[in-house]
């Protein structure tokens, strides 16, 4: 990489400890926008579990993995952004490994409330959504991108958000 290319990425240098901040490339910014926009239209990430059709979820996760693989091929492997995409792809792969795609009972019986397969399916779905939420939040923060409210439901809660009764004022009787 030429010095002029490196210099164009620098947004500031401070001393005495020589802190350096980097400006994301146009390629990364546009890829981050594509990823956020694509995920905003993936209902498997945010639709209430009771409305999910397991076979549709599996198909959607397969499409997500394919999309993430395509985006990764366009990026520098060493970037934090690429690491987030790899983590989301790994979470998709783990979901697929847990529920399977070959017509096993997890898919066939996941819609039957109380059946062991529904526990497996919804547990895998929740775990995948949690990983996606963490990494989508990182991407949105890194590239200063907005996320539609429905997808934002899977982002980690703020440390100040709490439903814990210990933090609420006591009620008088």
Task: Name the residue with higher pLDDT: 5 or 73.
Answer: 73
Q: How confident is the model at residue 107 (pLDDT cuts 50, 70, 90)?
A: low
Dist CA 28 CA 35 (whole Å): 10
pLDDT at 26: 78
Contact 140, 156 (CB under 8 A): no
Spell out the domain ranges in the chain.
22-144
Task: Name the residue with higher pLDDT: 155 or 12.
Answer: 155
pLDDT at 76: 86
* CATH of span 22-144: 1.20.120
Tens of pLDDT, residue by residue over 48-65, are 866 677 878 888 999 999
Classify residue 108 by burial, with Cβ atoms within 10 Å: 0-12, 13-18, 19+: middle
* Mean pLDDT for all residues in the chain: 76
Task: Name the residue with higher pLDDT: 129 or 164.
Answer: 129
pLDDT at 101: 62
Q: For the chain, first and last CA: distance in Å? A: 70
Per the DSSP assignment, residues forming a β-bridge with 20 are 13
**pTM assigned to the model:** 0.73
pLDDT at 12: 42
């Amino acid at each position: 990489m030429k010095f002029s290319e490196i210099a164009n990425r620098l947004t500031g240098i401070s001393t005495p400890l020589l802190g350096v901040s980097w400006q994301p490339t146009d390629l990364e910014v546009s890829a981050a926008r594509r990823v956020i926009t694509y995920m905003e239209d993936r209902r498997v990430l945010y639709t209430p579990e009771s409305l999910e059709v397991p076979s549709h979820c599996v198909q959607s996760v397969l499409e997500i993995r394919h999309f993430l693989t395509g985006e990764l091929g366009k990026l520098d492997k060493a970037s934090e952004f690429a690491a987030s995409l790899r983590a989301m792809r790994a979470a998709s792969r783990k979901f697929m490994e847990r529920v399977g795609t070959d017509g096993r009972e997890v898919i066939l019986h996941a819609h039957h409330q109380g059946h062991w397969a529904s526990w497996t399916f919804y547990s895998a779905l929740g775990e995948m959504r949690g990983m996606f939420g963490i990494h989508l939040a990182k991407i949105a923060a890194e590239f200063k991108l907005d996320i539609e409210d429905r997808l934002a439901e899977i982002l980690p809660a703020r440390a100040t958000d709490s439903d814990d009764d210990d933090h609420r004022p006591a009620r008088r009787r």
